[in-house]
Structure 1
Amino acid sequence: MLREMSTRYGRSPGGYAWALLEPIGAIVVMAVGFGLLFRSPALGNDFLLFYATGYMPFSLYQTIANVTARSISFSKPLLMYPAVTWMDSLLARFLLNTLTGLLVAIVVFWAILSFSSTTTVLDLPLIALAMGLSALLGLGLGTLNCYLGTRIEVWDIAWSILTRPLFIVSGVFFLYEGVPEGAQKVLYYLPWIHISGLMREGFYPTYRPEYVSVAYVLLWSLLPMVFGMMLLRRYHKDLLNR
């Protein structure tokens, strides 16, 4: 974890400040841009809060999925020591980036609620559940991609191309109920849309996303995680020698 901290944040000017400035900048740009196009967001009357409730869980998932997918290639020199295992590398990157993402989310939401006129009643268990599912989904897909990306040379590029539209269709910009019924039938099978709905339910007391299925998100998270860990346990030595 210390090595991850020093390499990820210690080499750039500002260090950990970028972990906070990056999501704030993205949310402000989205709020200003869409604020010029629409009178009010799809839910509530604060653009910053609406886009933050969609962006922060997706950002947490994306960060964890990316860093865990590169665990073996990133820590390859350390994994040559018998005392250090592939699981150590995976868990260190997951824990550090999860704690960082949660801390950043707390600061961002505190700032939005403190300096805006928005009043809301927070459902903290729902918010914690949404962020926890985001982290778990990132770990599950990241674990499987850790094997596939190391085994198949072009997998990282292919995965990047396939998942590029996720930011648009994950519910950051819109509500599931606000799209046509045909699109809803497709979007329902994306676990990210369930997480964004759950997150917004925690911030907007009047919002009730009936479509949300926690079990479905857990299925998306645990199945890739189990297969990824089985493959890494069986073939991690071969991957280190590639």
Structure 2
Amino acid sequence: MQLEIPSLGPRSIFSKAERIDSYLRVLNALMLRDMRTRFAGSYWGYLVQVLWPVAHMFIIATAMAFRHVPPPFGDSTMVFAATGAIPALAFQYISREIMKGIMQNKPLTYYPQVRTLDVMFSRVLVEIVSSFLGVMLILTILFALGLNPIPKDITTAICGYLSAIALGIGVGTVNVAIIQVFPGWLLGYIGIGILLYIASGVMFLASDFPEQIYYYLKWNPILQLVEWVRLGYDPTLPITIDYIYLFLWIFGSLSLGLALERTIGRRGSA
């Protein structure tokens, strides 16, 4: 799919408004290009991205049912699986797809109207929309099955989910800086992402482990984000969230990533 880059036109008294309009059209073009090229060059293929969290939920719930494992909290295995898969995948997809977006759209940054940050921002918007659509679809399916997916503390669950998105943006920004120097980092990060997903407590309740093991598991920020969401469903869980640690990860990774991107971008343009 070709990307039509809008021209800013001659400077005038309306140049600021023209630049804003051009910037929005660039973002719109980048987002549409991403949605068209992600799967088989069709907008219908974009639905695959939305359906992945649903697939994860069913796979985890089916595996637990096959092994006759009761849900660690609540009455529904599917609700338990959803509370883990949603925040973990929100982080994983955003942090990975921002990096892939830069690799796929790098030639577009040679246009003066398109910057690396524009490509990153457009991919973040697409991933956030995809994540929200996935959440809505999961809630719809759970309601249709006669289950109650509404958390007891909605604010806590939403804050945990939004923090997972924020951390995904921060780590994804760092990945963008790394991938421009070491292109092979994409494969390395995919492997790391799988390990983080397995150790993030999506398929188990980490607080059920012995204290010595649980202590080391909590160094994984994804696990604490999953626990944050689950705490909204069952406030009585023996979970303590280290909010300072999580916010250090979120703001630290975002600051580091932007600083690295700016430094690498300057070297690349020199």
State the TM-score, normalizing by the size of structure 2. Answer: 0.81
Deviation at 1:110, TM superposition (A): 3.0
Which shifted more, 191-200 or 162-171? 162-171
Deviation digits for residues 104-142 of structure 1 (CA, Å, limit 9, x no counterpart): 112202321342344755422222211111111111111
After TM superposition, give the deviation of residue 214 of structure 1 in Å.
2.4
Tell me if the contact between 1:197 and 1:209 (Cα under 8 Å) persists in the aligned partners.
Answer: no
Gap regions ≥5 residues in structure 1: none
Instruction: Determine whether 1:100 maps to 2:130.
Output: yes
- Counterpart position of 1:29: 59
Partner of 2:255: 226
Matched, 1:185 2:205: no
Whether the aligned pair in 2 keeps the contact of 1:150 and 1:239 (CA below 8 Å) is no
Answering whether residue 265 of structure 2 is matched by residue 215 of structure 1, we say no
**What is the match of residue 15 of structure 1?**
45
Shift of 1:195: 0.7
Other-structure match for 2:25:
none
Change (3 A) 1:102 1:119: closer
The total of aligned residue pairs comes to: 240
Unaligned runs of 5+ in 2: 1-30
Alpha-carbon deviation of 1:29? 1.8
Identify which of structures 1 and 2 has the higher relative contact order when contacts are C-alpha pairs closer than 8 Å and 6+ apart: 1
Larger radius of gyration: 2
Q: Give me the identity figure in percent.
A: 25
RMSD: 2.2
2:87–2:226 Cα contact (<8 Å) kept = yes
Query: In the alignment, does 2:249 pair up with 1:235?
Result: no
> 1:201 and 1:114, CA in 2 relative to 1: closer, same or farther beyond 3 A?
farther
Tell me the residue number matched to 2:172.
142
TM-score (norm 1): 0.89
- What's the CA shift for 1:240? 7.5
Aligned equivalents of 1:55 and 1:119: distance in 2? Answer: 13
What's the offset of the Cα at 1:203?
2.4
Q: Which residue of 2 aligns with 1:151?
A: 181
Does structure 2 conserve the Cα–Cα contact (< 8 Å) formed by 1:176 and 1:184?
A: yes
CA shift for structure 1 position 71: 3.3
1:120 and 1:142 mapped to 2: Cα distance? 29
